[in-house]
A and B are shown apart, each in its own frame.
Chain A
Amino acid sequence: MAKNTKGYLALVLHAHLPFVRHPEYEDFLEEDWLYEAITETYLPLLDVYEGLVRDNIDFRITMSITPPLANMLADELLQNRYLKHIRELIELAEKEVERTRWMPEFHETAKMYLEKFERCRYLFEDVYRKNLITGFRRFQDLGKLEIITCGATHGFMPLMDLYPNAVRAQIQVARRDYERHFGRSPRGIWNGECGYYPGLETFLGEAGIRFFFVDSHGILHADKRPRYGVFAPLFCPNRVAAFGRDIESSKSVWSSEEGYPGDFNYREFYRDIGFDLDFEYIKPYIHESGLRINTGIKYYRITGRTMYKEPYNRQKALEMAAEHAGNFMFNREKQVEHLSGVMDGKTPIVVSPYDAELFGHWWYEGPDFLNFLLRKVSTESDCIELITPSEYLERHPDQQTATPSLSSWGNKGYAEVWLNSTNDWIYRHLHKAAERMNELANAHRNAEGVIRRALNQAARELLLAQSSDWAFIMKTNTMVEYAVKRTKDHINRFTDLYYAVKSGTVDETVVSALERKDSIFPDIDFRVYCD
């Protein structure tokens, strides 16, 4: 459709999971986060993109694939474990198709799961050869998907700013890792938790990164009044661009109250056969300890704010997803029409970032919604054009210069989620480790052999300790124990390596054990921490 573009829509999906990989356990619950996200989000998204390309739909979307996620997706152990996981799910779904034969209200849904799981297995093993990175990369190479990076371990930068070397390392390690996976340098970055502090752009610029995102008030409260609000990026004084989040479009998807995902026709998350069915029957598909867990097979729709739940109707749910996509587009059209009237002829950009795992894992029909939306906007809208930030900057190189304000997209908009009485104790340790890493790197710049390996490992441990996920989990008050343990483990391992290097007592077996255990960033170079 010939467009008379009045505004741009930049959809941004932030795909991230913390680095969870426990070779020492056969069945480790937290690894399921990855397997669930692959089945429910990453593969369905790839499938959506495949379909769009096949149907010649000229779409644009931006995704951050964080370094921990990329490392897990590229990890052979986890790949093989996923394959085992999806095969077991197929087996369970086969049994479910049989078991529900006399219950037509569930039978169709059971067949849907079987079909979906078989498709996942096929895509994962036969199409992507177990490595989803290659799948995402293909769409980037086709110019449809812009993949951006994130701090090496999703560190929350505003609480790291005292240690510039640590901030630099988060960015530089991420950049190198991105190059390893995607064969070019990242143009943009999603800073963990959308966290920004004035000055961060220096390190982004050093790494060749041209744009990042901030929450709305990051732009609105910039040091100079932003002429066009969040509907145009600001250039930091070093020409790195900051795009601001649009609240209206965010709310329609994020809000658990008024957002689309709460529609009563959509699938209910909390009713899973892992909890609902006879123990002996479900036992092979839950945790080996007998702990009941989500299997991913769920037969009910949200129904309402009641305990009583009605069976899921896939057809009806898809109709709602299409309707919501239409509604989203309609609202954006109205929005840009209004904006183009008050922006002196500038073309507004509406930036809508979401957690990728929202689509599919939490909002089961989310990938279908995206599919409908991308198709509709590409083929039906005469005034909205999908765009990536890179393309936007190429077309509109002239922007206002101002420094955004410290901000994040967490509750209340600043650092409180990651700095409160549940998690504030971690920072004295994270800071000390950052200081010590800098000290080690400067003192052992030319280290070789096992000392060098110890230093590289120390860098991995520090980075892993800095994952914002741990502080976040402590705040949300679920599985706090795991988050506390991960923080302590990585700090302790770091400290052990620190003293070993300092005293010249590095033990190769210790270093090897840690290299296998915390195997993120295989080609890290600790010298990124040198002054």
Chain B
Amino acid sequence: MNKTTLKQKSKKELLNIASELGIEGAASLTSANLIDAILKAMDVTSDGSPGSPRSLRLDDENLEVKGASKKFEMQDKRLVAEPEYPIDETRDLPQGYGDTKIVAMVRDPYWLFVYWEINHDKRRELGMLGADTRRLVLRVWDVTGVSFNGFNANDHFDVDVNDITNNWYLQMPTPDKSWCIDLGVLGADGGFVLIARSNTVLTPRDTLSDRIDEDVQWHAPDEAAAEMYRISGGYKVTELAGSESIGALLAQHLAANLSSGAVASSSNIPRKDEAGGKGKDFWLVVNTELIVYGATEPDAKVTLQGQPLRLRPDGTFSVRFALPDGEQVIPVHAVNADGDMEKQITPIVTRSTRVDIP
């Protein structure tokens, strides 16, 4: 496959290829950009070496050989010579797996998430039926309390979706219901052509159950139930400071180590977002430190301001101090190993700070 053959393909075909190559965001690209992305993803390298395993994704069958054949191709840029996983680790995930299916997931009492995939064969089949696959429909069945067979739902509604995406969030009219979602398309005659049917999901209730325990021991009549609900914080559930508020903070703290921009604090200046971040702002911090260093005989005993100093093996020493405003008198006292000779030198350092306001 090269640029010329790709140019002869329709955008739909290109999108399918892109999907199998795991190109993200393909749907938003123009045909020309898509072709570029596909060629890049196929990655026929300039030095004539075999393409990266990514190109194998063009043909699902070929995937089977990739484990064995691609060893030792990765350049090892790591710091430690560990046995490295020999396969390209920058691969994207495929956009599909060659299935035709739709899967429903519960997000909360009011929303479902569905994702789907329609494979080549199914698309061809639909094409022959004259169905316009650009206009997909999600038929949402309320199957609460029924064993759904396609005809016995309590109710249904349709949501039009497009074929550029492969997932959708569905807002549900009522919590505590069972739902089943059909992915379909309108056929040439305007009728609904089923492509795939989802699993059945049950959304959670968002309030106290109507069911009262039959066992009188646990019998909770309205008043008692409402009171217990209240002291259990039932009415505060949504305003609860859950794990996320602080959990997210925690993650950010942990992350503070990672992204250089996350914490831009310098002395006396907290993170920008804490400072409000509004309006024009400028800051300057100046601090001073003092290094006192010197040398004597390696076996001498040395103190600085009366506190022992550690000498390096060659008899040199170096101490670093944060230097605040004011005067520091810094006697450095040394005694030789025999204890019969001594020296003292006392630097005196004064720091004062002036802040000039223009």
Contacts and interface: CB of A to CB of B under 8 A. Distances in A.
A438 interface: no
B232 A219 contact: yes
Contacts of B249: 256, 362
A461 B202 CA distance: 30
A4 to B, nearest CB: 22
Contacts of B91: 488, 492
B74 to A, nearest CB: 11
A24 B74 CA distance: 14
Interface stretch (B4-12, B109-117, B148-156): B109-117
Interface string A391-420: 000000000101001110111111111011
Interface in A242-261: 244, 246-248, 250-251, 254-257, 259
Interface stretch (A170-178, A372-380, A473-481): A473-481
Given A162-B103, A271-B265, A413-B242, A358 B250 contact: yes
Nearest to A514: B85
Contacts of B229: 220, 229
A281 B270 contact: no
Contact of A476 (B111, B234, B251): B251
B324 A103 contact: yes
Nearest to B330: A102
Given A270-B263, A503-B64, A415 B320 contact: no
A216 B71 contact: no
Interface stretch (B30-38, B120-128, B129-137, B252-260): B252-260
A270 B250 CA distance: 12
Contacts of A100: 322
Looking at chain B, what size class is its interface with the partner chain?
35 or more
B164 interface: no
B232 A516 contact: no
A227 B228 contact: yes
Contacts of B256: 270, 293-294
B87 interface: yes
Interface in A14-55: 23-27, 29-30, 32-33, 36
B241 interface: yes
B87 A496 contact: yes
Contacts of B237: 215-217, 220, 247, 413
B213 A102 contact: no
A159 B250 contact: no
A142 interface: no
A33 B257 CA distance: 9
B242 to A, nearest CB: 5
A502 interface: yes
B213 A400 contact: yes
B296 interface: no
A397 to B, nearest CB: 14
B267 interface: yes
Interface in B74-113: 78-80, 82-87, 89, 91-93, 96-97, 103, 105-109, 111, 113
Contacts of B257: 29, 32-33, 287, 293-294
Contact of B270 (A254, A270, A489, A502): A270
A472 B247 contact: yes
A428 interface: yes
Contacts of A420: 107
Interface of A: 23-27, 29-30, 32-33, 36, 95, 98-103, 106, 158-159, 162, 193-194, 197-198, 215-217, 219-231, 244, 246-248, 250-251, 254-257, 259, 269-272, 275-276, 278, 281, 287, 291-294, 307-309, 338-339, 342, 355, 357-358, 361-362, 400, 402, 405-407, 409-417, 419-420, 424-425, 427-429, 431-432, 472-473, 475-476, 478-479, 482, 488-489, 491-493, 495-497, 499-500, 502-503, 505-507, 509-510, 512-514, 516-517
10 A-B pairs with least C-beta separation:
A247-B233, A229-B232, A411-B244, A414-B108, A503-B64, A478-B255, A229-B228, A406-B204, A400-B218, A500-B67
10 contacts: A223-B211, A227-B228, A246-B232, A254-B243, A415-B105, A428-B115, A478-B255, A479-B255, A493-B85, A510-B71
